[in-house]
Chains A and B, each alone.
Chain A
């Protein structure tokens, strides 16, 4: 086992978790095999194949023992043997619950730990951990599921404090996965981080804001997913899961067999993220046995499924040999993460480029205890996703709560679920961007494709977009967009600068945010929303949302209070210097209509040179 010092010295290397779980009745295999074969034996063979393949390339694994496999002496002995021989960690998965013993004991076909009621969650956790202790003589240091809610994490940490790492989400698995699976796969868990994080005690999606909020574990996602392709399309095709890549048909055939350079490009882009995260970069691979079943899957025969797994391990093995990757068990990763992430407020960043379609699309992802957001430079730096982590929405999920299955963290902006810039003839979609007005003509930076640079500063992260030029009534107007994420306050600054000479012509800059809230494509009722513009102690305008399309204008700031998601969102200027030449001239709020249930916050400034600075502030309410 490597010492922590050795791991820390390797901080620019890819930290890698390889995780295997022996299932005795994996849900995919049961469906695919149609009950025709002995799933139990096949699953064990697949687990052995995965273990042997990782070891062949010199990689250690974390064996996540399932409830079902705790009844198999063969698997228990095998896990002990591999722990002794290869340094593999023996963890406990809360996936793989379904088996004869589980179904008989709990009289249910449910298998997702976060969907049970609270008493049943505790009962199952105690059952799994107790049985694990009985078989192995110790409690595990790692656990996981597709998703782990804060209630379950807090209970596990309280009762079994040895646990320090857990698989706790599938990144952007929500309505997209549901639709892809013919509206039958109820894993709604959009809105979480894409890389390891320390979950809040209140809501496991949110990174902990301080020691008091620290749940005591390091969470990892279930897969390392493509941060562009998964946001734009079906999440299940674009991850460091070779069979996902086959599922997406991202391969071609040649004389040497099946080739999938995209898989290696994806792993390499994760390595590239070290540039934006103080040298930290991470990858995980967690392929359940159902994906490697002998009947084949997703048009691929078993031979191709197995080859893709072997090739993936081979690539990680090569990276390790070259000193570019460090294989870790989950508990080692937790220690390494804690050592390399001493500051709770330090955000996870990703400047992510298209490596699949051939476009020049580029996203910037940011996740801190205050917010998660995505800027799309194919749309001039428009914000296309916004999650108010600062609200730490105390969502409960499972039977007996208001959310039986929907564990997604609510958005304020989600440009794909809620239209973004382009709508059909009427209304507006959720997005944050800037419009430029001149002589009655208007251009939106959403239609200006560009790319951007990342810069780390003492106080946060600065993103500078390459300038774009719009032409209105014959006047060329060149605009540079600068975004600054203040780590201390959690607020985000946007500065739009005119960088060419307008020869005294005056243009109007209009920074706007069109928002809503929810977890799916559909907007819940908005009548508890209130919109407010502030001018001074005696003046302002309040609109209680009634779908009437009303507007109100003020001088100092505009905000929206969204009680349903415990959030207040404010658009303002630099509050430290309201006399600044960069301060907006006016602010506006506007409610939506029934056909377009959104709200609008706007800031405007008339200028011929210089720029306009606005700040986006998210606060918890209720």
Chain B
């Protein structure tokens, strides 16, 4: 069996990423899967992308823009971010 290689885009292990570890994965051409050297994760590119989208759910303000930082003792005010806007 041929040795594994780095896959395109340097995908990190999504399971390790969820525990704050940046672990580049390697690609097994035979199974068409990425796999992790540190944990037992293995999965297709599609599965990796899906898990990465799950990861982003912890960022509750991912799509929001601060309008006003408000008074010290109140949370900032946000609005939905519009495509292309800064």
Residues of A within 8 A of B (CB): 32, 34, 176, 179-182, 233-234, 236, 247, 249-252, 254-256, 259, 261-262, 264-265, 268-269, 272, 295-301, 311, 314-315, 318, 351, 353-360, 362, 450-454, 466
Contact = CB atoms under 8 A, between A and B. Distances in A.
A261 B61 CA distance: 9
A262 B59 contact: yes
B9 A453 contact: no
B12 interface: yes
B84 A299 contact: no
Given A261-B81, A269-B66, A353 B75 contact: yes
Nearest to B20: A234
Given A454-B72, A466-B73, 15 more contacts: A180-B20, A182-B23, A251-B62, A255-B83, A259-B83, A259-B84, A261-B61, A261-B63, A262-B62, A296-B9, A297-B10, A299-B52, A300-B9, A318-B86, A453-B72
B61 to A, nearest CB: 5
Contacts, number: 111
A247 B61 contact: no
B60 A358 contact: yes
A249 B55 contact: yes
Given A264-B86, A318-B86, A357 B58 contact: yes
A236 B17 CA distance: 12
Nearest to B22: A180
A461 to B, nearest CB: 12
Contacts of A297: 10
A451 B72 contact: yes
Nearest to B52: A249
A176 B19 CA distance: 11
A264 to B, nearest CB: 5
- Centre residue among B10, B22, B71 by max chain A CB count within 10 A: B22
Given A180-B20, A265-B66, A355 B61 contact: yes
Interface residues of B, number: 35
6 contacts: A249-B56, A268-B66, A296-B10, A299-B11, A354-B61, A358-B59
A360 B75 contact: yes
Interface in B1-27: 6, 8-12, 17, 20-23
Nearest to B74: A451
B50 interface: no
Given A180-B22, A256-B84, A315-B86, A298 B62 contact: no
A282 to B, nearest CB: 17
A359 B81 CA distance: 18
A453 B70 CA distance: 11
Given A353-B75, A466-B73, A311 B86 contact: yes
B24 to A, nearest CB: 9
B61 A265 contact: yes
A272 B77 CA distance: 13
A299 B45 CA distance: 11
